[in-house]
Every structure is written in structure tokens, then in C-alpha cells.
């Protein structure tokens, strides 16, 4: 009996050892397979192992049909992902009642290509007049595209909340803010005589930094659209003529100001201007608490709280400089004449470059850092951080702007034309649109534009 028990015990132990070994081997094989899949390896329809990439496809609205290289994915809709062989693939999105969207993407081995911006437009749209904007001379839209400020020649400007179906105007009193206001003694309203050169919102959608001109003088004014008493005339407060001013944080509590090539930080709440942060600046940009700037020969970075800037790179010639974040990585971009070069901020290794046919005079970082948009007049160039390549294009008119974070619009002879940020998917979508004022899409549901003096709303979804 004892021997039988020992044999059974040994057999049981052997089974346990074999089972555990099989489990360990299965886990190892699974880990290896997952690692290969993550690295882009896959088994194709011919049972051959090849390295592939992945495309993530989102759309507005969601649920659009996907066709890749002319083949419809019968049971797959946006928003979803698809593994594809490396190389170029044509992706076409469609949905009943909407127009179509198409792009050829270059899939690279082991990498994810994101298409998170395709927009399909409802073809039969409901249209309505929502506000009489007679007297408006300038209009600006908040970063979240929910607020529209209408400027007129009086001291009572108008703020509209575009999210509300029933739009009600809110008065923004600027009578005590701008020097270019004529106000008779004892009067409650007057005339705004300034010329608006630029208007930049903060990310909280509560403040607008205006650059205005009046009698050959430049004035910088930070307007609080919700509480005009909290507005501040930067030029008057510090009795200084600034060459440039930027909003430095999300709530406009701090500004960056350039005066004679010297960089300072302005604390709006305490009404204090810092000591010199840097000098000899030819261009500058910032991300979070890091300020990158260029001089005639070098690029530096300074972090708030540190005493001295750090030399990043020596230059052969003056360059425009940008700092951006794409995924979790930060990048430094230089624009030297017609050459754009992108470096990894971590080690300053070059990750991509492109030679343009023109010299950009202005630039901006895409909403998620996924592209760099450059222009000179109506000549545009886009450096795509997904593909690390540049494309150039021109809109149909010099009356243009951003209708979403990823789409540019132009108005020509009253026709509204939209393009993706890279100039693709050019589509005519509306008529009788004013060239003088901006166009926007709010919450992916409503499109607003001006027709003569009327603010028009078109519904992009069925109600």
C-alpha cells in the first residue's frame, strides 16, 4: 500500500510539474507573440510572416464606412483600428447622407498612424438666421469654438455663446480699457477708434489679448470677456512699448513680453514685470514652463525658476524656433529660410527635415502637436509629424481661417470651401458666405458663418 501511495504521489507530482512547465511555456510563447505583434509582425493571408503597421481611424460623425484600397470593410466602422502592410494605402470614409473623405497614408513597419480628424459633412442641412450682427467690424472665436466676440465702433462689444440654441448677446464694456476710446464726461458709452491688428484667446476661453493701433501707436490690452473690470491695458500699466506679447498660461495670469529684444514675464494679478529673462531674442516659443528662443547664432531654453538659460544648439543663421509635444515626446523645430528641421528635444538628434519652396513668415503648432503649419501670404506648408514629411498648398482665396483645429476654410465669391490642414479633401459646402468674418464649427454639430450682417447656423447633424 505504501509503495502504491508513493507511486501515485510521484505521478501526481510529475503531472503538476509538466502542467506548470506547459503553462510557463504557453506564457512565454504568448509574450513573444504579443511582442512580435506590437513590433508590427503579423501573418498575412498567405500564411507568411511580415512586419506591418497599424492605422487608427476616427471620424466625425462616428460610424462611417471604411474602404481600404478599394475594398470595403464590411463589419468595421470608425472609430476603430486596422493592421495594414507597410507602404501606401488609400483610405476612404463614407456614410449615407454625407459626403466622402479620402486620403492615401504611408504605413510604416511597427508604427501606429492616427487619422483622428476626418470630417464628413451632412449634404442636406437645416439653415437658420440666429443673430443680426449689423455694425460688427471684427469678430474672433474662442479656442473651444463655443464663444464669439463681435467688435463694433462703440464701447459695448457683444459676446455670443454658440453652444446655446437660443443665442442671447452679453455686453462686454471696454470703455475704460483702451486708450483709443472717446468718451465724453459723464457718458456711459462712447466710440472705439482703434484698429485691431490681432486677437489671441487664452485656453480658458475667458481672456483675449488684443494688439491695436491708434494714431501710429501700438497698444496691448488683455480683455476679460466675462468681467470687463478685470481687464488690463498692458501698454498703459507698464508705460512701455512692447514689440510682442504672448499669453503664457491657460488662464492668462502670466504673459511673456518682448521689448527691444529683451524677454520679461508679466504677472497680471500683481501687476508686476520680471527682471530680464533673456536678451538678443529674434524669435521665441514656449511649452508648459519652458521657453525656447533664438538669437542671431544660437538656440536657448530657459525654464521658469532657473536663473540661467541653457544653450541647446548653435546656428549658422538666424532661425524661427518652435517647441512642441507629440505623443509623449518633445521636439524643437527650426525654420531657417526655406529649410525646416525637427529635432528631438531630449538629445537634439534630427528626426526629420524638409526644403520648402518659400520662406514662411508665420507658423503654428497643430492642436495635438501632430503637425506644424507654416505660411507666407496664401502659400501654405505643413510638416506632418506622423509621416515626417512636408506638403505645400494654396487655398482658393486670401479670405481664409481655421474652421476646426484640423480644417482650413476659404471664402471665394461667397462660396465656402474647406480643406484638411494638409490641403486635401477640398470641398464646397455652402454659399452666400461673407468674406469679412470667421467661420467655425461648434461641438461638431453646428456650423456658423456670416451672410452679409446676419449670423447663420447650419446643423451638421440631423435633428
CATH number of the domain bearing residue 145: 2.130.10.10
Q: 290 and 390, same structural domain? A: yes
Task: Report helix, strand or coil for 337.
Answer: coil
* 97 and 240 belong to one structural domain: no
Q: Is the pLDDT of residue 260 over 90?
A: yes
From 54, 83, 115, the end of a domain falls on 115
Confidence of residue 387 (pLDDT cuts 50, 70, 90): confident
403: which 3 cell numbers?
474652421
The answer to whether residue 311 sits within a structural domain is: yes
- Report the alpha-carbon distance of residue 453 to residue 19 in Å, rounded: 79
Inside any domain, residue 111: yes
Examine residue 121 and state whether it is found in any structural domain, yes or no.
Answer: no
Q: Domain of 17?
A: 1-37
Same domain for 58 and 26 = no
What is each CA distance from 309 to 285, 313, 316, 336, in whole angstroms?
14, 12, 20, 22
Peptide bond into 320 cis (omega under 30): no
Look at residue 392 in the predicted model and tell me its pLDDT.
97
Residue 6 has pLDDT above 80, yes or no: no
What is the pLDDT averaged over residues 170-183?
Answer: 90
Q: Are residues 31 and 48 in the same domain?
A: no
- 33 and 45 belong to one structural domain: no
Q: Among candidates 402, 360, 400, which has minimal Cα distance to 383?
A: 360
- Residue 33 sits in the same domain as residue 48: no
Does the pLDDT of residue 203 top 80, yes or no? yes
Which secondary-structure segment (H or E) carries 75? strand 71-77
Residues 6+ apart with CB under 8 A from 436: 399, 450
- Overall average pLDDT of the 396-418 stretch: 97
Nearest-angstrom CA–CA distance, 253 and 269: 6
In a domain, 234, yes or no: yes
With a cut of 90, say whether residue 15 has pLDDT above it.
no
> Same domain for 308 and 417?
yes
Q: What is the pTM of this model?
A: 0.86
Asked whether residue 250 is assigned to any structural domain, the reply reads: yes
Residues 50 and 152 in one domain: no
Q: Are residues 28 and 46 in the same domain?
A: no
Q: Is there a single domain that holds both residue 26 and residue 49?
A: no
Is residue 263 pLDDT above 60, yes or no? yes
Is residue 120 a part of any domain in this protein? no
For residue 92, the cross-strand partners are 67, 102
Q: What is the DSSP string of 345-409?
A: TTT--EEEEEE-SS--SEEEE-TTSSEEEEEETTEEEEEETTTTEEEEE--SSS-EEESSSSEEE
pLDDT at residue number 78 = 82
The whole-number pLDDT of residue 321 equals: 95
If pLDDT is split at 50, 70 and 90, which confidence band does 16 have? low
We report the CATH number of the domain holding residue 59 as 2.60.40
- pLDDT at 187 exceeding the cut of 70: no
Task: Give yes or no: residues 213 and 149 share one domain.
Answer: yes
Question: 73: pLDDT confidence band, cut at 50, 70 and 90?
Answer: confident
Q: How many domains does the chain have?
A: 3
DSSP H or E run through 267: strand 262-267
Q: Are 284 and 258 in contact (CB under 8 A)?
A: yes
- Using the 3D structure, point to which of 55, 83, 115 is the last residue of a domain: 115
Please check whether residue 122 lies inside any domain of the structure. no
Dump pLDDT digits (tens) for 131-168: 999 999 999 999 999 999 999 999 999 999 999 999 99
Q: Enumerate helices (H) and strands (E) in the chain, giving the number of each.
A: 2, 42
- Same domain membership, residue 235 and residue 139: yes
Amino acid at each position: 500500500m505504501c509503495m502504491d501511495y508513493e507511486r501515485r504521489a510521484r505521478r501526481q507530482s510529475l503531472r503538476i510539474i509538466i502542467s506548470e512547465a506547459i503553462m510557463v511555456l504557453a506564457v512565454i510563447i504568448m509574450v513573444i507573440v504579443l511582442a512580435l505583434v506590437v513590433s508590427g509582425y503579423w501573418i498575412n493571408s498567405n500564411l507568411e510572416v511580415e512586419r506591418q503597421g497599424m492605422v487608427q481611424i476616427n471620424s466625425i460623425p462616428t460610424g462611417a464606412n471604411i474602404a481600404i484600397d478599394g475594398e470595403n470593410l464590411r463589419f468595421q466602422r470608425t472609430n476603430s483600428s486596422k493592421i495594414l502592410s507597410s507602404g501606401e494605402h488609400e483610405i476612404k470614409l463614407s456614410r449615407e447622407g454625407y459626403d466622402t473623405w479620402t486620403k492615401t497614408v504611408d504605413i510604416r513597419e511597427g508604427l501606429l498612424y492616427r487619422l483622428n480628424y476626418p470630417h464628413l459633412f451632412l449634404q442636406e442641412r437645416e439653415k437658420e438666421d440666429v443673430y443680426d450682427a449689423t455694425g460688427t467690424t471684427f469678430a474672433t472665436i474662442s479656442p473651444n469654438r463655443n464663444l464669439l466676440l463681435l467688435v463694433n465702433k462703440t464701447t459695448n462689444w457683444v459676446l455670443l455663446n454658440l453652444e446655446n440654441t437660443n443665442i442671447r448677446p452679453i455686453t462686454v464694456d471696454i470703455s475704460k480699457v483702451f486708450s483709443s476710446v472717446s468718451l465724453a464726461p459723464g457718458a456711459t458709452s462712447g466710440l472705439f477708434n482703434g484698429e485691431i491688428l490681432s486677437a489671441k484667446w487664452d485656453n480658458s476661453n475667458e481672456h483675449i489679448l488684443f494688439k491695436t493701433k491708434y494714431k501710429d501707436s501700438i497698444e496691448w490690452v488683455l480683455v476679460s470677456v466675462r468681467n470687463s473690470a478685470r481687464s488690463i491695458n498692458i501698454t498703459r500699466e507698464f508705460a512701455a512699448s512692447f514689440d510682442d506679447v504672448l499669453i503664457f498660461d491657460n488662464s492668462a495670469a502670466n504673459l511673456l513680453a518682448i521689448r527691444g529684444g529683451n524677454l520679461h514675464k508679466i504677472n497680471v494679478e500683481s501687476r508686476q514685470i520680471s527682471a530680464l529673462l533673456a536678451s538678443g531674442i529674434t524669435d521665441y516659443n514656449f511649452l508648459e514652463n519652458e521657453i525656447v528662443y533664438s538669437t542671431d547664432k544660437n538656440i536657448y531654453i530657459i525654464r521658469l525658476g532657473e536663473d540661467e538659460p541653457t544653450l541647446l544648439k548653435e546656428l549658422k543663421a538666424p532661425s524661427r524656433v518652435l517647441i512642441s509635444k507629440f505623443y509623449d515626446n518633445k521636439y524643437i523645430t527650426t525654420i531657417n529660410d526655406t529649410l525646416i528641421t525637427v529635432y528631438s528635444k531630449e538629445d537634439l538628434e534630427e528626426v526629420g527635415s524638409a526644403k520648402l519652396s518659400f520662406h514662411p513668415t508665420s507658423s503654428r503648432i497643430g492642436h495635438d502637436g501632430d503637425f506644424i503649419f507654416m505660411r507666407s501670404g496664401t502659400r501654405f506648408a505643413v510638416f506632418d509629424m506622423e509621416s515626417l514629411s512636408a506638403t505645400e498648398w494654396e487655398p482658393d482665396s486670401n479670405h481664409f481661417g481655421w474652421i476646426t483645429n484640423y480644417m482650413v476654410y476659404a471664402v471665394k465669391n461667397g462660396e465656402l470651401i474647406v480643406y484638411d490642414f494638409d490641403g486635401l479633401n477640398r470641398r464646397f459646402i455652402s454659399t452666400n458666405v461673407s468674406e469679412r468674418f470667421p467661420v467655425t464649427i461648434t461641438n461638431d454639430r453646428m456650423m456658423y458663418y456670416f451672410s452679409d450682417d446676419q449670423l447663420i447656423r447650419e446643423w451638421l447633424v440631423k435633428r
